[in-house]
Homo-oligomer: A and B are copies of this chain.
Amino acid sequence: MIELLHEALSKAKPYLEKGKPAEYIPALLSANSNHLGIAVATIDGKYFSAGDIDVLFSIQSVSKVFSLSYVLQKFGTEKVREKVGVEPSGNPFYSLVQLEYEAGKPRNPFVNAGAIAITSMIPGEMADEKFLNLKNFITGISGNPVQMIVDVYRSEFDTSHRNRALGHFMKHFGVIDGSVMESVDTYFRQCAIGMTCEQLAQFGVYLANQGVNPKSGNTVLSKEQTTFVNALMSTCGLYDASGEFGIRVGIPAKSGVGGGILAIVPGKMAIATFGPSLDEKGNSIGGIIALEYLSQKLSLSLF
């Protein structure tokens, strides 16, 4: 397996120069475009990794998987579906247009609006209380603590007026219950959570194992809730490139503009990649190629 991971990275390396890190905040722009790492966590508790596996990066939109899992565990699928839809949007992840045409209900939990709606459900009045609850949930998965990267959070907080707009717009339609400011602030914090790609695979492997973390034995989600998350990752996980990813890789995945991708092979393993060089749609170039290679070699595609 290790050898395959190295091959996957070698395959992907030459393409890194075709992309660049996310530009919208300084803390992301300064990432090293040449970084590339991959890690596997299997459902029988084994770990494999290769490349830049010690680099801490902000998981950004991959955090949407964890916040969604948290509110699913806490409130169940039905309550979650009152707040967000489950269909692909056909629009960029940051778009406001669909919200206006559809009475403020986000298309799915992985577009920004949907993620903010999900985050607004996290218990707590203020952002620090909400975020503490989310952190405790994530820590509870495997027992390892996580921290947010303060620089990234500060950058997000100072600049992300588009996300604030999404929050106020949903508040107008009654989709967000509490304070817009605190919900959006919490969202910025969760996006700034730092992980290595080894950690990301380890934290995410419950989705490959019917909701149970294989090491700690903790049940994060029910089998049905796990299917819910994986199915959504399959149709909506890679922003407006989910269809393409389905063709090329064929497994549920969620990407983030920090360069991380968490991919799930149900019944087998979680694979996490990190490579901050992004393509035009905001997905890690190296990560996708490495995953495509692994998918072919190990016949991972579900299709």
Query: Which A residues have a C-beta under 8 Å from some C-beta of B?
Result: 85-91, 95-101, 107-108, 160-162, 164-169, 171-172, 180, 226-228, 230-232, 234-236, 240-244, 246-247, 250, 252, 266, 301-303
Name the contact of A243 in the complex, choosing from B162, B231, B301 (C-beta under 8 A).
B231
- Please tell me if the beta carbons of A242 and B96 are within 8 angstroms of each other in the complex: no
Contact A227 B243 (CB under 8 A): no
Instruction: List 10 extra interface pairs beyond A96-B165, A234-B234, CB under 8 A.
Output: A87-B243, A96-B96, A161-B171, A162-B168, A168-B168, A227-B301, A232-B246, A234-B246, A266-B302, A302-B303
CB closest chain-B residue, reference A246: B231
Q: Which of B108, B165, B252 contacts A172 (CB 8 A)?
A: B165
Q: What separation, in Å, do the CA atoms of A240 and B96 have in the docked complex?
A: 19
A169 cross-chain contacts in B, Cβ below 8 A: 96, 161-162, 165
Decide if the interface of chain A is mainly helix, strand, loop or mixed: helix
Tell which of A101, A107, A247 has the most Cβ of chain B within 10 Å: A247
A-B contact pairs, 21 of them (CB 8 A): A87-B88, A87-B240, A88-B243, A89-B90, A96-B165, A97-B97, A97-B101, A162-B172, A164-B164, A164-B165, A165-B167, A226-B303, A227-B247, A227-B250, A227-B301, A227-B303, A230-B303, A231-B301, A231-B303, A234-B302, A302-B303
Copies in the complex: 4
Q: How far is the CB of A80 from chain B (nearest CB, A)?
A: 11
Within the assembled complex, what's the spacing in Å between the Cα atoms of A235 and B87?
9
Partner of A86, one of B100, B107, B243: B243
Q: A172-B162, A243-B236, A303-B231 are in contact. Are A91 and B90 (CB under 8 A)?
A: yes
Q: Which residue of the partner chain B has the closest CB to A164?
A: B168
Report the minimum CB–CB distance from A244 to chain B (whole Å).
6
Contacting pair B231 A235 (CB below 8 A): no
**Which of B160, B244, B247, B252 contacts A303, CB < 8 Å?**
B252
A56 to chain B, nearest CB (A): 28
Task: Give every chain B residue within 8 A of A230 (Cβ-Cβ).
Answer: 303
Give Cα A96 to B167, complex, Å. 13
For A88, the closest partner residue in chain B by CB is B88
